[in-house]
Chains A and B, each alone.
Chain A
Amino acid sequence: MTDVRELTYLDAIAEALLVEMGRDPDVLVMGNDVGGSFGGAFKVTKRVSDEFGPHRVKNMPMTELAFVGAANGMALMGLRPVIEVQFADFISTAFDSIVQYAATTHYRWGGSVPWVIRAPSDGGIRSGPFHSQNPEAWFVHTPGLKVVAPATPADAKGLLLAAIRDNNPVVYFEAKPLYRSLRGPVPEGDEATPIGVARIAREGSDITIITYGSTVHDSLRAAHEVGNEGISVEVIDLRSLKPMDTDTVLESVAKTGRALVVHAANRMAGVGAEIAAIIAEKAFADLDAPVRRLGGLDIPIPFSPPLEDAYRVSPGDIAAQLRELVSW
């Protein structure tokens, strides 16, 4: 039996790195400020840097396009680099190396590019327009990439193990507001959470919320709140955005007849748009109400507390939508 203890979301990520680097000498960490005694802007790589040193935890100059490109070459040679882009917002500087080279290589000539990019994403921590973004839709739109977004410490560990072992480029969005605020049970050992399998975070019968990342927790709060009013909400934590477990979504919607999609990223052409379209195309006959989406506003993410709060989806926003949809 695997022992289960509670870890923070951040420590669960660090534990996955420790486990996998211990297991596989081909795994290494690279990124800005990840190494030395510093161990990363958020200290995620502090323990691996202490344990494995500069040969396997490599500080990079501020050249994301080049060092993700270098990770492409390392991966083609059979290494498994785990890259930290300091903030998900900065991933745009590495765009060509990700979407043009890494994503197309296996399809074009059969080269396998098994890297992971860890992208600390999401806001609510007063970090302004360039340290708060959720750019997952860019990568979900790109054939050849896989995209995951764990919501719990257990999945933060399990999905990172799976991402490192996957033979494809995987963009791993970790929700930085959860780093130290969320604790949860995390199995010991090295068992991975399979990529492409959603999790029912809460069972219910009246309406389905489809969500991922930090808004899983906002959705659970809202579900609890309206539960007291007699509304039974099922919450699906997608965990993996590409490939996406649409079977679990469609089965749930067939049961509840109502769907609300929630994510922290802005709404326009976000992942929620795809989910809503899939439900409309494949489960129209099951629906008793229109599919609704909640996401950030279509504006750059503002800094000041009242502005950022107005930008973000809140549990109150979710609860209001739930009430409206069940009375449709």
Chain B
Amino acid sequence: MSHSLDSSAKLNIAYWMRLTRTLDDAIMAMWKQGRGVGGTFSGKGHEAISVGAGFAMGTDDVVAPMHRDLGCYLVRGLSPDRILANQLGKAEGVTGGRDANLHGLGDLSLNILGFVSHLPQSMPVALGAAMAFQYREEPRVALTFAGDGSSNAGLFHETLNLAAVQNAPLIVVVENNQYAYSTPIHEQMAIDDIVVRAAAHGVAGEIVDGNDVVAVYDAVLEAATRARRGEGPSLIEAKTMRMLGHAIHDGAEYVPRSLLSEWKERDPVTRWEERLVEEGLLTPETLARLQEECRDEVEAAIEYAERAPLPDAAGITTGVYAP
């Protein structure tokens, strides 16, 4: 059980998870209808991780999410309007049409650092933010994410090692969703648990159920508390399942359907909603209203983003350099 989630926080989490799912579903639908631009990614099944981890951070903390972490961007205050406008390549998207889908969703005013495709490139960047907090003796932490796939990269190990040596206030959440694009985890690594890679580098490690938002929240909050006390970095392996393909084009036929139906039973969003109904914090009626609010918010964002102007190519060469 959570140490610190009060009723209003629990309801907030329910809202963010439902909003994340609703926006994710809407994006998938738009792209299938041909209303999208380029490719896009779904984080379906990852909502407990992206929302739970993001929700455990303070506003002064820095997050460096990736392409499965729609919920983290939302929790941190990036509006569905700006996210959708970015996905559609619009001038008012976060990157003004310069980067695609969730890539490049960086906003320093919200303490969000944008990512590049070369995962886990956000890991050392978040580590650097954590080292900056140490340098200035600020009680802030940095949170980032990696996947089972990028946990095989040399940079993953380099960063954990450097974080441990520096005793940096860094939290790495590894979203083990069983597949790196089409490659199942047993073809990627000869270990059962990615968390052992933390121990190899002297980083605190923990496994959590990645479909249980409270488990993720508690683990990240505890890691943050330790980090703020000067007790160094943590790695949290959140075990989950990628419920759709790698990206919109990918039907993921290589994933056994039985595996998906097994994980569908543990859907993180409905699981949390059902729990709050059981606890009496939601009734079927208030839950229906919450879901409707999320639908309305997403519909308004779609309307805004589809109407928003495209960027003017006349400005294409500006901003390569900071003034």
Contact = CB atoms under 8 A, between A and B. Distances in A.
A67 to B, nearest CB: 6
A78 B131 CA distance: 12
B319 interface: yes
B105 A63 contact: no
Interface string A77-88: 111000000000
B118 interface: yes
B104 A109 contact: yes
A79 B135 contact: yes
A28 B136 CA distance: 12
Given A69-B159, A101-B116, A109 B123 contact: no
B132 interface: yes
A101 B121 contact: yes
Nearest to B126: A73
Interface string B150-167: 000011001101100100
B124 A97 contact: yes
A113 B129 CA distance: 12
Interface string A9-39: 0000000000000000000100000000000
Contacts of A167: 321-323
In this complex, the member of A70, A72, A167, A168 whose beta carbon has the largest number of chain B beta carbons within 10 angstroms is: A70
B125 A61 contact: no
B135 A111 contact: no
Contact of A70 (B114, B118, B125): B125
A297 B62 CA distance: 48
User: What's the dominant secondary structure at chain A's contact region?
Assistant: helix
Contacts of A70: 124-125, 127-128, 131, 159, 162
Nearest to B114: A109
Contacts of A114: 322
Interface string B119-147: 00101111111111101000000100000
A108 B100 CA distance: 10
Given A96-B121, A109-B99, A76 B320 contact: no
Contact of A168 (B142, B155, B158, B322): B322
A301 interface: no
A112 B114 CA distance: 12
A74 B132 CA distance: 5
A69 B124 contact: yes
Contacts of B117: 100
Contacts, number: 135
Given A106-B319, A111-B113, A73 B121 contact: no
Contacts of B142: 73
Of B123, B127, B323, most buried by chain A (CB within 10 Å of CB) is B127
B108 interface: yes
Contact of B319 (A63, A75, A100, A107): A107
Nearest to A103: B320
A109 B95 CA distance: 5
B107 interface: yes
A69 B155 contact: yes
A23 B113 CA distance: 28
Nearest to A144: B320
A143 B321 CA distance: 9
A114 B128 CA distance: 13
Most chain B beta-carbon neighbours within 10 Å: one of A61, A63, A75, A78: A63
Contacts of A246: none
Contact of A101 (B95, B99, B125, B321): B125
Contact of A66 (B98, B158, B319): B158
Contact of B123 (A67, A69, A110): A69
A143 B318 CA distance: 12
B13 interface: no
A24 to B, nearest CB: 13
Interface string A57-73: 00011010111111111
Contacts of B323: 167
B131 A73 contact: yes
The 4 tightest CB contacts between A and B, nearest first, are: A73-B128, A69-B124, A66-B158, A70-B128
18 contacts: A55-B135, A63-B162, A66-B124, A66-B158, A66-B162, A69-B125, A70-B127, A73-B113, A73-B131, A76-B129, A79-B132, A100-B116, A101-B125, A106-B321, A109-B95, A109-B106, A110-B106, A110-B319
